[in-house]
Structure 1
Amino acid sequence: MKRKTIDIITLGCSKNLVDSEHLMRQLEEAGYHVTHDAQHPKGQIAVINTCGFIGDAKEESINMILEFAQAKEEGGLEKLYVMGCLSERYLKELAIEIPQVDKFYGKFNWKELLQDLGKAYHDELHIERTLTTPKHYAYLKISEGCDRKCSYCAIPIITGKHVSRPMEEILDEVRYLVAGGVKEFQVIAQELTYYGVDLYKKQMLPELIERISDIPGVEWIRLHYAYPAHFPEDLFRVMRERPNVCKYMDIALQHISDNMLGKMRRHVTKAETYQLIERFRKEVPGIHLRTTLMVGHPGETEADFEELKEFVRKARFDRMGAFAYSEEEGTYAAATYEDVIPREVKQARLDELMAIQQGISAELSAAKVGKRMKVIIDRLEGDYYVGRTEFDSPEVDPEVLIECEDETLHIGNFYQVEVINSDDFDLFGRII
């Protein structure tokens, strides 16, 4: 059994996770038992799907490869394969540095892995996946790559130009997943708003979301990773009119000062950013906005950072993440600017920004106490059922904790919940 077991280890983002799920389905069709658990590998073959986005992610990927390489040297593993973004970018270097790996694959040629195992790739299964998420929700990747040229980002170097998936193929995948019990879809891409420009010569995200929302059984659709410049305005109408399109938008803004937005090559201004946020809240009442911000990009002055803090206080984002700039070779920033802001200054700015957001999050959570909300139950953990509202994406957002008491709740079902308490991030509720 151990020889027929393959362990898949996924690092990085949900887009990587979708690739792993497609590979798992193909391996299962080929007769393998497949696990997805880095902590407890069970087989003699391991496949590590790597991330290469920023320094910390690269380090995590390399450490994971080295850990499994050591297991192979000690006889606990027969074959070790590596795929994904880090492998795509540093294929030759990694092959020299870590010879214990049997083969490195890039982000897009992982199908060769099946051939190297002596198995065929089944084209007829191209929309099928073995979900690693709870069976009631799934990530839905609608495109690959990115045509934006932000100064700091290596993603276009790794993944290449934006390539949209055909709309009918995406809709077929949604129907397939709904038939398997999926009720909730996190729609993902490197850049959602560009969807369709390459295939249909115009932005097609509003039409795609509308057509997904028409499919019976789709209860929630949530949108991740939009770009602020040239936002497709018809999406406001779709979000407002369609009850199964969550009033939630994940839109990475990165900064607010015009100085930094210019240096980052974001093609949007401070005034346009404020106008977009105002438009969202006017056109889609009740919307929850998630954003990501960056501190410490070369050229960020104390005045720029003060402007960013003021922006966070004014905008009062419902959800916010932030990270410190790390220089990525091959990017415009690496070639053009010197990374002179000390690491400790970057970290101090990051801590300060997140402390401001923590206070805002606590206030926004407290404002929900007494409200009734629709909640999906994800899991049972200790004395609590753990669920989410339409404003909460899995893994990254707050959760709703409901004491078990005498009532038995079913994982993957929706319930009406009254919010009875809150902390800085999470809510506590009771079933109505």
Structure 2
Amino acid sequence: MKKINVITLGCSKNTVDSEHLMAQLEAAGYTVAADSDRTDAKVVVINTCGFIGDAKQESIDMILRAAAAKQAGRIERLFVVGCLSERYADELRAELPEVDEFFGVKDWAGIARALGAEHRAELETERRLTTPAHYAYLKIGEGCNWKCGYCAIPLIRGPHVSVPMEVLEEEARKLAARGVRELIVIAQDTTYYGIDLYGRRRLAELLERLCRIEGIEWVRIHYAYPSAFPDDVAEVMAREPRICKYLDIPFQHISDAQLAAMQRRHTKAEAYALVERLRSKVPGLALRTTLLTGYPGETERDFAELEQFVRDVRFERLGVFAYSEEEGTYSARHLRDDVPEEVKRERAERIMAVQNEIARENNLRRVGVVERTVIDSRQGDFYVGRSQYDSPEVDQEILIPAAGRRLLRGRFYDVRITSAADYDLYGEVAGK
């Protein structure tokens, strides 16, 4: 019996890549394990991340552990794919002769051939899900055209390439037929979808088509770039009940000086106007954003503007990262990394302190409200669920006491919120 262990690191886009690869391998007769430390598989494939320093180190550490396992005879073949391999294949080959081969982010046919499988184009919409069975990520595009100053993604994955709409619909129908009820739409910039294929942005049309697929109850949008945000997306969000009132839109900063240095394509005034327009068009919208502190040249005045932006907008969900210089990017080539590391981290902590206060106040306002909730899992004495305002793995959860009633994973229930903490809600099934 041929067995392979596929280990996936990094973002949800990597997750989708691995799931497609595993489907190809299973079709070739392999038994595939996902991220397993209990398998006796003699072949290991590591899908790596090469985005920021911590993620790269995690990937390197995983490769080193697998290389040691190969030297000890516990595995026989080791392959490395993905973003880290795309960027640093030559250096990695020199340092890690234990690895049989390195493959980049687009050479899925190559890795299949190396494993004795034929990469079959007719299987392009097949997936071996590694998420819970009721939700899945749907990657609608590859690469990015924006070339923000801090970001290595265009260097790794190239320019934006949209997946044809009919391919996405076929993939989504297959996922729904297998029990997926929530589609999480992802790309480096989801709002760019369609420009390369159809000459215009067609995310709104794609969302409407996904909502018409039988079995799909929630469609969630991640990674929407702020510049040139298409108004028709907000309009379809407002009128289509299956689209979650949730939008992940990374602003990164708000100071005009920092936005220009980052080579973002919008201004402070445009960012504020976009938030106002979105919340006006989509009542009850939960906004998630990502911010960056300590980018080259960030002054205390710039940071004060960012802190005020967080206070003004009161994002429902927020993540913040301290700037990490990535070789080959515009900022690494042209700007001096002049903000001390301790200042970067302290500014990130200050932003999160403000956000903690906002999150707690937002949550307290939800006490007494009945939320439609999907059950993701059971952990100890609680069922763990989410409302439409929360995405899996990155956002808060609704904890429901397990005593007294059995709830089914992947099912939706009306849950009344009974109490709140900074980043968690507690509730009970309504109508008990």
Q: What is aligned with 1:401?
A: 399
Moved more, 201-210 or 29-38: 29-38
Q: Deviations over 1:412-431 (max 9, x none)?
A: 00000000011101110101
1:173-188 matches, cutoff 5 A: 173-188=171-186
Is contact 2:6-2:45 (8 Å) kept? yes
1:351 positional shift = 0.9
Q: What is aligned with 2:346?
A: 348
Which among 40, 43, 46 is matched to residue 42 of structure 1? Answer: 40
How many percent of aligned residue pairs carry the same amino acid?
55
Q: What is aligned with 1:120?
A: 118
In 1, the alpha carbon distance for the partners of 2:288 and 2:37 equals 30
In 2, the alpha carbon distance for the partners of 1:139 and 1:315 equals 28
3-state SS of 1:226 partner? coil
Q: Which amino acid aligns with 1:223?
A: I
1:5 positional shift = 1.6
1:32-431 matches, cutoff 5 A: 32-431=30-429
1:38–1:261 Cα change, 3 Å: farther
Is contact 2:292-2:320 (8 Å) kept? yes
In 1, the alpha carbon distance for the partners of 2:136 and 2:399 equals 21
1:225 positional shift = 0.2
- Normalising by structure 2, we get a TM-score of 0.98
Q: What is aligned with 1:27?
A: 25
Q: Which amino acid aligns with 2:248?
A: D
Q: Which amino acid aligns with 1:125?
A: L
Moved more, 116-125 or 101-110: 116-125
1:218 positional shift = 1.1
In 2, the alpha carbon distance for the partners of 1:316 and 1:40 equals 44
Q: Deviations over 1:209-238 (max 9, x none)?
A: 111111121100000001001001111110
Q: Which amino acid aligns with 1:6?
A: I
3-state SS of 2:428 partner? strand
In 2, the alpha carbon distance for the partners of 1:7 and 1:187 equals 26
3-state SS of 1:395 partner? coil
Question: After the TM superposition, which parts of structure 1 deviate over 4 Å for at least 4 consecutive aligned residues?
Answer: none
Moved more, 31-40 or 274-283: 31-40
In 1, the alpha carbon distance for the partners of 2:327 and 2:189 equals 21
Once superposed, what is the RMSD of the aligned Cα atoms?
0.9
Q: Deviations over 1:358-405 (max 9, x none)?
A: 111111111110000000001111011101000110000000100011
3-state SS of 1:186 partner? strand
Q: Which amino acid aligns with 1:245?
A: I
In 2, the alpha carbon distance for the partners of 1:185 and 1:318 equals 21
Q: Which amino acid aligns with 1:55?
A: G
Q: Deviations over 1:56-115 (max 9, x none)?
A: 111110011001101111111100000000101111111111111000000010221221
Q: Which runs of 5+ in 1 are unaligned?
A: none
In 2, the alpha carbon distance for the partners of 1:121 and 1:236 equals 38
Instruction: Give the length in aligned residue pairs.
Output: 430
Q: Which runs of 5+ in 2 are unaligned?
A: none
Q: What is aligned with 2:13?
A: 15
In 2, the alpha carbon distance for the partners of 1:117 and 1:347 equals 43
1:160 positional shift = 0.4
In 1, the alpha carbon distance for the partners of 2:109 and 2:378 equals 36
Q: Which amino acid aligns with 1:391?
A: Y
In 2, the alpha carbon distance for the partners of 1:35 and 1:296 equals 40
3-state SS of 1:83 partner? strand
Q: Which amino acid aligns with 1:336?
A: H
In 2, the alpha carbon distance for the partners of 1:165 and 1:117 equals 26
1:134 positional shift = 0.7
1:39 positional shift = 4.1
Q: Which amino acid aligns with 1:340?
A: D
In 2, the alpha carbon distance for the partners of 1:269 and 1:69 equals 47
In 2, the alpha carbon distance for the partners of 1:271 and 1:116 equals 52
In 2, the alpha carbon distance for the partners of 1:321 and 1:336 equals 26
In 2, the alpha carbon distance for the partners of 1:149 and 1:410 equals 44
- Normalising by structure 1, we get a TM-score of 0.98
Moved more, 39-48 or 341-350: 39-48
In 2, the alpha carbon distance for the partners of 1:121 and 1:266 equals 38
In 2, the alpha carbon distance for the partners of 1:302 and 1:114 equals 51
1:124 positional shift = 1.7
